[in-house]
Amino acid sequence: MSITRRVDAARKAFAEDNHAAAAAAHDPALIADSVHKPPEEHGGISSQYVGDFIYGGLDGIITTFAVVSGVAGANLGTNIILILGLASLFADGFSMATGAYLSSKSEKEYFDKERMRESWEVDNFPEGEKTELAEIYQKRGYSAEEASQMVQILSKDKDRFVDAMMVDELGLIQSERKPLYSALATLTSFVLAGALPLLVYLLGLFVTISDRTAFPISVLLSGVALFGLGAGKVLITHQNPIKGGTEMLLVGGLAAGVAFAIGALLKGLLS
């Protein structure tokens, strides 16, 4: 069993409070075997972009549904809903994707800069770096002898030594996420999920659907999507999917309710 599958099995066993499964996942022979296996390769979008996809989708639904609710509360009609909804959908989607790209890019640039500095310090002040790392380990409860032994082992290989300094001194772990992929995952999910509240109104351009019917259908579609994506957070948080779905349904419903109420209160400004 690979390391990834073994960790997944251990995680599942803990969530289910299954002691036997947890013991099996921590079998010494199984662990020794997984250490020597090559890392698994996964096709398509890596699991590291699941967070961007889910949270982008959740933001898309809530943002667009809030617009639909506000306009519906003000009784402004289908055309206004489509204009404001589509404008918000693509503008906010692009904004979020840009933010995801710049954030991921900045994190990568910061990590690379700090690693370059640590590498230079290891080359020029190796003893000082060894002392720093030993002190860090001692503060964590290791004895001076244990800390010294750990540092001596790590410092035999420069890359391993620099990695240890990055993690233990700076608390930085390199992310394999690519800024462009992160942005694309966010944009795609935001637009696809955010279009659901508008779907019935887009259909109304070709088929006659009354406003009284369209809004409840939009509410239903948005509610199902919110619950589904909220439950999908289990892929990241590993929590109860029912709880996650219900939480997001309540949050999205609250945002839509506020927007609807504001629209209803301010509709008199248009008369």
Q: 213 with 152, same domain? A: yes
Percent of all residues in the chain with a pLDDT value above 90, rounded to a whole number: 11
**Contact, 225 vs 201, CB < 8 A?**
no
For the ranges 11-25, 58-72, 104-118, 169-183, the one whose mean pLDDT is highest: 104-118
Band of the pLDDT at 43, cuts 50, 70, 90?
A: very low
What confidence tens digit (pLDDT) does each residue in 46-65 have?
Answer: 556 777 888 888 888 888 88
Band of the pLDDT at 45, cuts 50, 70, 90?
A: very low
Tokens at 78, concatenated: 């289908």
SS3 218: helix
| pLDDT of 39 above 80 | no
Q: 189 with 100, same domain? A: yes
Band of the pLDDT at 94, cuts 50, 70, 90?
A: very high
Domain total of the chain: 2
Q: 100 with 1, same domain? A: no
Structure confidence at residue 242 (pLDDT): 85
Q: 145 with 34, same domain? A: no
Q: What is the mean pLDDT of residues 81-109?
A: 90
Q: What is the mean pLDDT of residues 138-162?
A: 89
CA–CA gap between residue 57 and residue 63 (Å, rounded): 10
Q: 30 with 73, same domain? A: no
Q: 1 with 98, same domain? A: no
Q: What is the mean pLDDT of residues 18-35?
A: 69
Residue among 200, 204, 205, 194 nearest 217 (CA): 200
What confidence tens digit (pLDDT) does each residue in 209-264 have?
Answer: 887 888 889 889 888 888 888 787 766 666 777 888 888 888 878 877 887 788 77
Burial (0-12, 13-18, 19+ Cβ within 10 Å), 145: exposed
Structure confidence at residue 113 (pLDDT): 92
2 Cβ neighbours under 8 A, 6+ residues apart: 34, 37, 39, 40
Structure confidence at residue 11 (pLDDT): 64
Count of CB atoms situated within 10 Å of the CB of 100: 25
Q: 238 with 263, same domain? A: yes
> End of a domain among 41, 56, 73?
41
- Residue 16 φ/ψ region, left for φ over 0, alpha for ψ in the -120 to 50 degree band, beta for the rest: alpha
Structure confidence at residue 41 (pLDDT): 47
The model's pTM: 0.71
| Average model confidence (pLDDT) across the chain | 81
Q: What is the mean pLDDT of residues 174-179?
A: 81
73: DSSP letter: H
Give the domain range for residue 142: 42-270
Q: 63 with 125, same domain? A: yes
* Concatenated DSSP letters of 127-169: HHHHHHHHHHHHHTT--HHHHHHHHHHHTTSHHHHHHHIIIII
Q: 36 with 111, same domain? A: no
Q: 178 with 164, same domain? A: yes
Q: 35 with 103, same domain? A: no
CA 138 centroid distance within chain: 35
| pLDDT of 32 above 70 | no
What confidence tens digit (pLDDT) does each residue in 76-91 have?
Answer: 888 888 999 899 999 9
Residue among 176, 179, 160, 158 nearest 168 (CA): 160
Q: 124 with 72, same domain? A: yes
